[in-house]
Structure 1
């Protein structure tokens, strides 16, 4: 089986509306990504980001479930991945309903990458307690798993209560779509071990992770230490099979990129025991995006095994 590599989709690049903000763009870009052999198309989540963050390197985002629904409609095999959904932003049963609906109508193609987020201004605008976000996230994962059983359930949450409720239809994937727990911190690693199907870290330099306000995992020793901590926590709680390790983007595809460099980087992470990785294309035109994605499929993806 070919090593799975996802692709970040460019529908957040609102500065180029004629190139990326249309149904025509969704169709052409996603069908190109699918034909190239990418395993999943990824969208992110920032419903109302703060202006200071936006003006210092941040970015806008479309609604993730709207975008993934559009992508599902124009593809047949491409997985539909959030990378990431900020889980505490929404009531967990609203999220569980959206995920289940999308999984049913896409015939089981959802991958739920999720994290606790880091933008105080966005948390404040949404009326969610920033300081409690980690506890809220753990709670919400448990609530969603309960809803996805399709059986009657009761749940007492933070500011909400399910006194006797039921959600159907359940996701096609059983017991639910893969839950990829994002974040580089030890809290995130523990969450992946205790509640997730995979750990979804961001391996990047301190200068890059500073914008995302997360722990840097760039150096070999940092990565090895994080993996050791993951396995130690599995042993501590008695989890026999560790969560998979599915990386966010590890390679940026640019004009003139080196295919062998991409193969070496992705293969290096695979050899460390990871189960998937991601790539990104940063250009300002749709034809160039599609050309680079197709080229990457031919010269890199086809050579990964």
Structure 2
């Protein structure tokens, strides 16, 4: 089986609505990505980002569950990946309901990448305590897992309580879709070990991760230290099978890109024990996006084997 590579989808490029903001664009782009051999299509989550962040390199985002539902409707195999969903933004049972519905109606294609987020202005606009976000992450994962059992459950959370509730249908994937825990910090690594199916880090230099206000994982020694910490925490808590390591985008596909460079980078991470990675395409037209996706599917993906 070929090494899985997801692709970030361009439906956040609102500066080019005629190219990317339509159902025609969703159908053409997602079918192209699926035919090219990408394992999943990724969408992100910024319901109401702060204007200062937007004006300094940030980006808009469509609603992730609406977007993934549209993608599911025009594809048959492409997996539906949140990269990432900011979990504390929503009541966990609302999220659990959305995930289960999407998983059932898509035939079990959801991958739930999630993180604590980092935008104070967005947290404030949504009425969620920014400083409590890490504790909320842990709590919400626990709450969602209970809901996904399909059995009666009781759970007391922060500002809400389920005294005796039930959610059905449960996700098609059992016991639930893969839970990919995002974040580069040691707290995120511990969360991946204790509550997740995979760790979903962003391996990028400090100049890039500064925008996302996360720990830089670019240098060889930084990555090795993070992986060593993950395995040490598995041993500490008694997790026999470590979580998989599925990377966010590690390569940007641009006009004139080097297929061999992409292969070397992705295979280098694979040799470190990763189980999947992501790629991105940044162009201003739908036709060029699809052309590059097809090219990557012909010249790179089959050689990752």
Q: State whether TM-score is above 0.5.
A: yes
Residue 126 of structure 2 corresponds to: 126
**Shift of residue 295 of structure 1?**
0.2
Residue 301 of structure 2 corresponds to: 301
Cα deviations by residue, 1:210-245 (Å, 9 ceiling, x for unpaired): 000000000000000000000000000000000000
Distance 2:225 2:254 in 1: 31
Residue 154 of structure 1 corresponds to: 154
Residue 241 of structure 2 corresponds to: 241
Cα deviations by residue, 1:40-82 (Å, 9 ceiling, x for unpaired): 0000000000000000000000000000000000000000000
Task: Say which SS state the counterpart of residue 81 (structure 1) adopts.
Answer: strand
Cα deviations by residue, 1:226-285 (Å, 9 ceiling, x for unpaired): 000000000000000000000000000000000000000000000100000000000000
**Shift of residue 300 of structure 1?**
0.1
Task: Say which SS state the counterpart of residue 128 (structure 1) adopts.
Answer: coil
Task: Say which SS state the counterpart of residue 96 (structure 1) adopts.
Answer: helix
Task: Say which SS state the counterpart of residue 208 (structure 2) adopts.
Answer: helix
Question: What residue ranges of structure 2 are gaps of 5+ in the alignment?
Answer: none
Residue 228 of structure 1 corresponds to: 228
**Shift of residue 302 of structure 1?**
1.2
Q: Does 2:46 match 1:69?
A: no
Distance 1:227 1:303 in 2: 26
Residue 11 of structure 2 corresponds to: 11
Q: Does 2:222 match 1:216?
A: no
Distance 1:302 1:229 in 2: 32
Distance 1:76 1:136 in 2: 34
Distance 1:160 1:294 in 2: 47
Distance 2:268 2:147 in 1: 39
Alignment of 1:1-305 (within 5 A): 1-305=1-305
TM-score normalised by structure 2 residue count: 1.00
Task: Say which SS state the counterpart of residue 62 (structure 1) adopts.
Answer: coil
Distance 2:275 2:142 in 1: 24
Runs of at least 4 residues off by over 2 Å: none
Distance 2:117 2:278 in 1: 19
Distance 2:42 2:74 in 1: 15
Q: CA RMSD in A?
A: 0.2
Task: Say which SS state the counterpart of residue 174 (structure 1) adopts.
Answer: coil
How many residue pairs get aligned? The number is: 305
